[in-house]
Amino acid sequence: MSSKEETHQRLKAAVHYTVGLLCQRTGENHQTEFSRQVIAAIAETTFRQCDTFAKDLEAFARHAKRSTISTEDVKLAARRSTALSRFIQNKYEELNHEQRDLKKKNTGKRKNRDTEENRE
């Protein structure tokens, strides 16, 4: 097996694991069970969907003359469903708020340290 295939095998297994957990939780919430075959099928489909996503994202970035995929490219990949676009937009804003709060915390700490040093 080539190393690329080995990587894909490992990644497939990791995807399968998370898919299994998500299906298990969904099943528990509805008092139903997912068969092992259907979990494997969902995992395989998710893995293949990643291929589509990855190539789309790469194409979007290249179209914008960038070599690094950005959040704008992800938002574009979510364009087909309004609900999905809105969800991704919300997550994007959550991310930005977290980063802004972190920056405020750090500048706040620095300001306090300065005033303490002045008092001494």
Partner 1 sequence: MAEKDADIGFKKDMVSKLLSSFFREDKTKISGDAVLLMAEMLKIFVEEAAVRSLKQAESEDCDQVDIEHFEKILPQLLLDF
- On the CB side of 107, CA atoms within 13 Å amount to 5
- Tell the smallest beta-carbon distance from residue 76 to partner 1 (Å): 11
| Among the listed residues 11, 105, 107, 111, the single contact to partner 1 using CB under 8 A | 11
Per CB under 8 A, 44 contacts partner 1: no
Beta carbons of 46 and 17 less than 8 angstroms apart: no
State the maximum Cα–Cα separation within the chain, in Å, rounded to a whole number: 69
Per CB under 8 A, 107 contacts partner 1: no
Per CB under 8 A, 64 contacts partner 1: no
Beta carbons of 39 and 19 less than 8 angstroms apart: yes
- Closest to 12 measured CA to CA, from 45, 56, 57: 45
Find where tokens 């489909």 sit. 45
Residues near partner 1, by CB under 8 A: 4, 7-8, 11, 14-15, 18-19, 21-23, 25-27, 30, 32-35, 37-38, 41-42, 45-47, 49-51, 53-55, 57-58, 61-62, 67-71, 73-75, 77-78, 80-81, 84, 87-88, 91-92, 95
